[in-house]
Amino acid sequence: MIMEIDDVSFDYAGKPVLDSVRFRVRKGEVLGILGPNGSGKTTLLKIMNRNLSPKTGSIMVEDMDIAKITKREIAQSMAVVPQGSEINFAFTVADIVLMGRMPSLDRFQMESDDDLRIVWNAMQRTKVDHLADRPINQVSGGERQRAIIARALAQVPRIILMDEPTLHLDVNHQLEVLYLVHGLSREQGLTVIIVSHDLSLVARYCDKMILIHDHAIEAAGKVEDVLTEENMRKVFNIEAHLDYDERIGRHVVSVIRPCR
């Protein structure tokens, strides 16, 4: 077991956001966390990375309580791809990706040839290597998002947390990014946790899912057990069904209409 979330609750100014959330994630799994806006998905992701502290409960990563280790130690195990990445300084794309090596370097230590190789490989995998010398604030939103994903990969993490990773990407890059992280989970045992509202994309690439509704887990398990017509109707207020597409060997969600 690489991560265990046990009885996590969280309030904003006394208003419940998460209530007794518990689940486990295994090495190499791709887990999707889905739910409507305001259900607590992003808050849960921030708690898992210790950017927020839970009201109750604990987060264990590789048998370590993240409340008892340093942020640097967390960053050596976990990388985060946030939902929005505003960068106001004219760092180059290569500079941004190189920042992913910081948790592995001592203070004032220069990057080694091995660090630079890791950075270049991350840029090639996310197809931003041709933008290496471009200022990050002069590339498109999609290119910026791929650079942030490259930065996360440059950390060489065992877990990567992704908050709406395809939000600013066009269709082909959405598929490329999720195909990439799915491939890394298979090749390197990387554990990937994706928060998203895109049912079909997440269904296509995730091994397991958690469905959050009314601040608690409504359903958890395999894609076909979670994305039932009843659950999609209850949580998202839509008429939809899940199919298995033999051509691609993956699940696909077909949305029919909003519930009346």
Q: What is the pLDDT of residue 90?
A: 79
3-state helix, strand, coil in the chain (%, to 5): 40, 30, 30
Give the least confident one: 139-143, 194-198, 243-247. 139-143
Look at residues 172, 169, 173, 190 and name the one whose alpha carbon lies nearest to residue 181: 190
- Higher per-residue confidence, 187 vs 231: 231
Q: What is the mean pLDDT of the chain?
A: 90
For helices 141-154 and 171-188, what crossing angle results, to 10°?
A: 10
Which tokens belong to 119?
Answer: 């950075």
Residues in the chain: 260
Domain range 3-258, CATH class: alpha beta
Residue 178: both structure tokens together: 């999720």
- pLDDT tens digits, residue range 67-100? 999 998 999 899 999 876 667 677 999 999 999 9
Indicate the domain borders of the chain.
3-258
- Neighbouring CB atoms inside 10 A of 118's CB total 21
Q: In what order do the strands lie in the sheet with 15-25?
A: 15-25, 3-12, 56-61, 64-65
